[in-house]
Amino acid sequence: MAAIARRPPRRRTELGLIILAVILTGGLYTLAGEGKSGSLPANIVPFLIVIFVLLVVAHIGMRFLAPDADPVLLPIAGLLNGIGYVFIARLVKHDAALQAVWTAIGVAAFLVTLAVVRRGRDLQRYRYSFGLLGVGLLLLPLVPGIGEDINGARLYIHLGPVNFEPAEAAKILLAIFFASIMVERAELLRTGTRRIGRFLVLDPKYLAPILLAWGFSLLILTAENDLGSSFLFFALFIAMLFVATGRYYYVGLGTVLFATGAVFALKFIGHAQSRVQAWINPWPHYNTNGYQIIQGWFAIAAGGVFGDGPGQGTPQQIPEAPTDFIFAVIAEEIGLVGATAVLIGILLMVGTGLRIALRAERPFEKLLATGLSLILGIQTFVIVAGVTRLIPLTGITLPFVSYGGSSLVTNYVLLALLLRLSHDTNSATAELVEAVAA
């Protein structure tokens, strides 16, 4: 009996779900080929074999490296990756080939991460290295000679033939850094108030970190024009601070600082101004900064409830369709139903991540799992809300779905870390059960 309790069939579930994800992806790929050219895609068999092999390799790695980890994260990631691939292939064949290579690199990075990080808490040891590295990566595009301006934002660096978006990798490193520092200082941060008369105010000493993070976000914003990353880091920082301390005044302070930053950005940063203009009312700016958002809307509206069918829409009209606007393409071709499914898939991953956080035993693991899950959740919200014009548009990728190597590889590493934390908790629980049974 104890043996059954000790090793629940998590990996078998995972394999079953992977097969399901491959079938879904293969079906979608077939339909997209039929829809676009009226014939089966020529490479359907090798395509199915490749995605199946990649996911099964990741799965086998899991059997050895993290056998007790959660079984749904990897298949959902694989499914989202597959759906993204199908739509990228449907838009730009060349990008799809690259995305396939990046998927393979992502899976390799996933396995390497699991192999290197044997225990989640080990990460805490290198917190300052991670912190420095994260900050360094974020500032890297500013270094003359290797930074590159793309679409008005300075986000990329090029190393030889490869363009790389360092902010992507930085988000994980900084999440680890935030988690370990905040856990360490949680007590201080929690009680860092002073009573002045009848009011509790934050001790200036403890105000420093939040002001630092804010200033840093603003720096990225002004120097690199990267609205998306800037907001992601600040929101992540505030949310993690709240989780670590349970103090609402950090949320309040964060909101005030964010508002101040936003006003500043609106006044002084042309990039931000044009985005907000296009958000408030894109129609007068149809031929300029409103064009993309309006084309995205047209695509989404054209999709309706069930979509035009994979391969049967006209998403070529949307600028940046494979990256920032991949969600609009999905909404056009598989409709409200398909777009909702993609969002639910990401929500499931976020929920699973937060459940891992809830069940983790040590504060660091809890906070790190929360931070990693929040990255997925916030990033998805920021881009989808931007594309649907719920909030001003900021260029950021849809995790696992958008075209983009650095984003994909980073997300696989993030996934590996979440699974590592999940395994830690589950195997500890299993050992406990075993001990009790013995």
Partner 1 sequence: MNPQIRLVGVGLIVLFVGLFAQLNYLQVFHASALDAKPQNSRRIIKEYDSPRGNIVSADGTLLAYSKPVNSNFKYQRVYPQGSLFGQITGFFSFTYGSDGAEKTYDRVLTGATSQFNLPTSLKGLENELANSNKAQNIILTLSTKLQTVAAKALGNRVGSVVALDPKTGAILAMYSSPTFDPNLLSSTSQAQATQNYQSLVHAPGNPLSSGAYRNRFPPGSTFKMLTASAVYDRDPSLATKNYPVSSGLPLPDTKGQTLNNFAGERCGGQLLEDFTVSCNSAFGAIGLDLGAQNLAAEARAFGFDQTPPLDLPAVAQSYFPPASSFAQNPPALAKSAIGQENVAATPLEMALVAGGLANGGAIMVPHILARVTNSQNQVVSTFQPSTWLNATSGQTAAQMATLMQSVVYSANGTGVAVQIPGIRVAGKTGTAQTGTGTIDAWFASFAPVSNPTIAVGVLVENQPAGNQYQGGTIAAPIAKAMLEADLSGGGTAPAGGAPAGATTTTTAPRL
Which of 48, 347, 428, 430 contacts partner 1 by CB under 8 A? 347
Max distance between CA atoms of the chain, in angstroms, equals 77
CB of 350 to partner 1, least distance (A): 6
Cβ distance to partner 1 smaller for residue 220 or 383: 383
Which of 89, 172, 374, 419 contacts partner 1 by CB under 8 A? 374
414 binds partner 1 (CB under 8 A): no
For residue 337, give Cα distances in angstroms to 74, 307, 342, 388: 22, 8, 9, 16
85 binds partner 1 (CB under 8 A): no
CB of 64 to partner 1, least distance (A): 30
Cβ distance to partner 1 smaller for residue 307 or 322: 307
For residue 430, give Cα distances in angstroms to 6, 63, 81, 426: 5, 16, 32, 6
Q: For residue 193, list its beta bridge partners.
A: 202
Which class for 343: exposed (0-12), middle (13-18), buried (19 or more C-beta within 10 A)?
Answer: middle
CB atoms within 10 A of CB 78: 29
Tokens of 423: 């395994």
Q: Which of residues 232-271 bind partner 1 (CB under 8 A)?
A: 239, 242-244, 246
390 binds partner 1 (CB under 8 A): yes
Cβ distance to partner 1 smaller for residue 15 or 334: 334
179 binds partner 1 (CB under 8 A): no
305 binds partner 1 (CB under 8 A): yes
Cβ distance to partner 1 smaller for residue 315 or 322: 315
CB 344 within 8 A of CB 72: no
CB of 127 to partner 1, least distance (A): 18
CB 2 within 8 A of CB 437: yes
For residue 284, give Cα distances in angstroms to 194, 269, 297, 423: 51, 20, 15, 53
| Residue given tokens 């068999």 in the structure block | 45
Residue-by-residue DSSP string for 340-384: HHHHHHHHHHHHHHHHHHHH-SSHHHHHHHHHHHHHHHHHHHHHH
297 binds partner 1 (CB under 8 A): yes
Cβ distance to partner 1 smaller for residue 156 or 364: 364
Cβ distance to partner 1 smaller for residue 4 or 305: 305
CB of 249 to partner 1, least distance (A): 14
What stretch of H or E contains 168?
Answer: helix 166-184
Only one of the segments 61-69, 200-208, 347-355, 393-401 lies at the binding site for partner 1 (rule: CB under 8 A); that segment is 347-355
| Integer Rg of the chain from CA | 22
377 binds partner 1 (CB under 8 A): yes
319 binds partner 1 (CB under 8 A): no
For residue 68, give Cα distances in angstroms to 36, 373, 421, 430: 42, 19, 10, 9
15 binds partner 1 (CB under 8 A): no
User: Would you tell me which residues interact with partner 1 (CB under 8 A)?
Assistant: 239, 242-244, 246, 286, 294, 297-305, 308, 314, 317, 331, 335-336, 339-340, 343, 347, 350-351, 354, 357-358, 363, 366-367, 370, 374, 377-378, 381, 384-385, 388-390
